[in-house]
Each structure stands twice: as C-alpha cells, then as structure tokens.
Amino acid sequence: MDEIKNTDFDAIDLQLLTLLQTDASRSNQALAAAVGISAPTCLRRVKRLWERGVLEKQVAILAPQALSAVHGPGLQALVEVTLERQHAEALDAFEHLACAHPAVQQCWRVSPGPDFVLVLACRDMPDYLRVSQALFTQPANVRNAKAFFATKRAKFGTQWDLG
C-alpha cells in the first residue's frame, strides 16, 4: 500500500467514500451519477481507493433482531483484558490469539487501562464460557478479564464522518 497523503483525495473521492459507507451495493453507474462524473472515471477512482487500502472490506451487516428468529438471541460481551506481561511479544501473541477466534468481532489495543478491549458475539452463556476459557486462561498470559454484557444496542455504526 502506498503512503497516502491528504492531497491524494479531492471532494469527489470523499463523496464516493461517504456513499460507499452508506450502501456499498450501489452500481458503478449509480455512484457516478450521484457524484457527477462518468462511469469509467468513477470505476478508476474506486479501484484506486481499493488499491491504496482506503477501502478495506465490503460486507453485509446482519440485523441481530431478525437473525435471532433463526439463530437465537445471542450474547454480546465487551471484555477488558489485562495481560500479566506487556512486552511486545506478549501483546502480539494475545492479539493474534484473539483475532483468530471466530467469536471475536473486534479487538482493540488500548491505553491507558486494560491492554485490550474485545467485542465478542456468542450464542449464549455456555458459549461465552467456552470462548472465555479459550481466550483468558493459561497460556494466554491474561491477568484479568472483565466482561460487560450488552442488554441493548442503542447505536451501531460503521461510518467515518468525512465532511
């Protein structure tokens, strides 16, 4: 990925990024029309955004309420994790362990306070117990794990304010 500079983006690039954040399924023609450029130019610009690493992934976001009818209500946990040893290799090892686990939706290295904050999606409390045993017991180097269980999702966003 090339080094990205502030001057590498113009107003059209920012408009494209904003549109793609709200609905990445738009056709190239629809994107081009929305920002007032030709379809080939739009395609080149979006391709450049992918190549530069500004666009990372295109996904579908599932609605937990609708999914619960088939999958069960699920259990979301936000977990603060403090490691016993915080040297670079230990931090990297735990980060690798956490990121490889399918229940981990997000893994943040934070400071000050705990070393990590994880967002977990589990089927139920027994599933959370299995996940916590896999992630927070030896040899994972975890001194303390403090879990907070979600009772309501008031807001969930994926968009950066580029305006």
Residue 73's pLDDT is: 78
What integer pLDDT is reported at residue 1 of this predicted model? 46
The kind and range of the H/E element at 116 are strand 116-122
Name which residue leads in pLDDT, 61 or 101: 101
**C-alpha to C-alpha distances, 64 to 24, 44, 73, 106, nearest whole angstrom:** 20, 35, 7, 16
157 has a pLDDT exceeding 80 = yes
Over residues 138-156, the mean pLDDT reads 91
Smallest Cα–Cα separation from 55: which of 98, 4, 122, 130?
4
As a whole number, mean pLDDT of residues 136-157 equals: 91
Residue whose structure tokens are 């994972």 = 140
Q: What is the DSSP string of 65-112?
A: HHHHHHH-S-EEEEEEEEES--SHHHHHHHHHHHHHSTTEEEEEE-SS
What percentage of the chain has pLDDT greater than the value 70? 96
Handedness of CA 144, 124, 135, 149 (dihedral sign): negative
Global pTM?
Answer: 0.81
* Amino acid of residue 113: G
C-beta of residue 62 within 8 angstroms of C-beta of residue 122: no
| Total length of the chain | 163
pLDDT at 106 over 90: yes
Q: What is the pLDDT of residue 91?
A: 97
Q: Is 7 helix (H, G, I), strand (E, B) or coil?
A: helix
